Amino acid sequence: MNQSQASEAVLSPHELEAALRDIGARRYHNLHPFHRRLHGGECTRDEVRAWALNRYCYQAAIPIKDATVLTRMPTADLRREWRRRIVDHDGSAPGDGGIARWLRLTEGLGLDRDYVESMRGALPATRFAVDAYVRFCAEKTLLEAIASSLTELFSPQIIGERLSGMLAHYDFVSADTMAYFTARPPQAAQDSAFALAYVLEHARTAERQQACLAALTFKTDVLWVQLDALWHAYVEGHLPPGAWRPDEREGLR
Ligand SMILES: O=C(O)c1cc(C(=O)O)c2c(n1)C(=O)C(=O)c1cc(C(=O)O)[nH]c1-2
């Protein structure tokens, strides 16, 4: 089926799932050269710091995004399922949860915690991309918001590659500082299985199906553009004003 036929036809759940997975196969950020560099051991320590510092903005925004999605869910069953995501990131007590684990990584890389949390040194493109994702989930339909989370179908594999690649190649990370990535894949698998089942059940018209495919495409752009910005700034050395500067002490512990 070519693209214009696909845009008119109602897909079976099986075809819709295949079309969603095809977007991942063609557009997910595991294909980005920055990730190949990061996982293959070619990044400098400062490039890894810049990646972790910027990625903190994404991590910090995810529970805010999920809280926004939660307010739009009409049933207790849905909300009960979705609120687990917020707990996964925020934890149930200080020092617990995904954001705290991410800060263990940035601290292990020698970055100052307050500086990371302030997001002052993040690239403008990172902030814009993350903000666009939160807004997308607030403004589009609930179905599109849920569909946009489906990049998580593809994250366990890239996280596995990252964990083994970074531990093998960099002596400045450890199993302890990389703990975020040990905890995340089972959560992502559970979250994406639920989101996929929801999308397959609720996207039954061609229009809704196309909206879901567009939402997932949008999300792959959100992830991709963050790595483009990192490459431009830290591999090619075109630092935008205000971004963290490896040659200065600010931001380091
Ligand atoms: O390391 C990664 O490559 C990666 C990718 C993604 C993703 O595909 O959106 C997420 C995460 N990690 C992640 O850790 C995470 O908590 C997460 C939440 C979401 C989401 O859209 O709700 N994506 C992701």
pLDDT of 172-215, one tens digit each? Answer: 999 999 999 999 999 999 999 999 999 999 999 999 999 999 99
Report whether residue 62 contacts ligand 1, using a CB cutoff of 6 Å. yes
Both tokens of 61, joined, read 């925004």
Give the residue extent of every domain in the chain: 3-235
Are 238 and 123 within 8 A, CB to CB? Answer: no
The pLDDT assigned to 57 comes to 98
The pLDDT assigned to 194 comes to 98
* pLDDT of 246 strictly over 60: yes
pLDDT of 63-87, one tens digit each? Answer: 999 999 999 999 999 999 999 999 9
Measure the CA–CA gap between 113 and 251, rounded to whole angstroms.
8
Mutate which of 152, 178, 199 for ligand 1 pocket (most atoms within 8 A of beta carbon): 152
Q: What are phi and psi of 164, to 5 degrees?
A: -70, -40
Question: Looking at ligand 1, which residue's alpha carbon is closest to its atom 23?
Answer: 152
Report whether residue 158 contacts ligand 1, using a CB cutoff of 6 Å. yes
Q: Does ipTM come in above 0.90?
A: yes
What's the one-letter identity of residue 164? S
The pLDDT assigned to 146 comes to 98
- At 247, the pLDDT band (50, 70, 90 cuts) reads very high
The pLDDT assigned to 3 comes to 54
Comparing 1 with 92, the larger pLDDT belongs to: 92
* pLDDT of 8 strictly over 80: no
Of all residues in the chain, the percent with pLDDT exceeding 90 is 96
- At 249, the pLDDT band (50, 70, 90 cuts) reads confident
What 3-state DSSP class applies to 252? strand
Ligand 1 centre and the CA of 58: distance in Å? Answer: 8
Buried b (16+ CB within 10 A) or exposed e, 215-229: bbebbbbbbbbbbbb
What is the average per-residue pLDDT within 234-242? 97
pLDDT of 124-174, one tens digit each? Answer: 999 999 999 999 999 999 999 999 999 999 999 999 999 999 999 999 999
Domain boundaries 3-235, CATH class: mainly alpha
Buried b (16+ CB within 10 A) or exposed e, 92-107: eeeeebbbbbbbbbbe
Report whether residue 20 contacts ligand 1, using a CB cutoff of 6 Å. no
Whole-model pTM?
Answer: 0.95
What's the one-letter identity of residue 241? P
Query: How close are the terminal C-alpha atoms of the chain, in Å?
Result: 55
Nearest-atom number in ligand 1 for the CA of 219 is 9
pLDDT of 19-52, one tens digit each? Answer: 999 999 999 999 999 999 999 999 999 999 999 9
Q: What are phi and psi of 178, to 5 degrees?
A: -95, 15
* pLDDT of 6 strictly over 60: no
Question: 3-class secondary structure for 80-130?
Answer: HHHHHHHHHHHCCCCCCCHHHHHHHHHHHCCECHHHHHHCCCCCHHHHHHH
Alpha helices in the chain (DSSP H): 3-8, 13-27, 33-39, 45-71, 76-90, 98-108, 113-118, 124-139, 142-148, 155-169, 179-202, 206-230
* pLDDT of 101 strictly over 90: yes
The pLDDT assigned to 4 comes to 54
Nearest-atom number in ligand 1 for the CA of 152 is 8
Measure the CA–CA gap between 38 and 52, rounded to whole angstroms.
11
Are 227 and 187 within 8 A, CB to CB? Answer: no
What is the average per-residue pLDDT within 106-110? 98
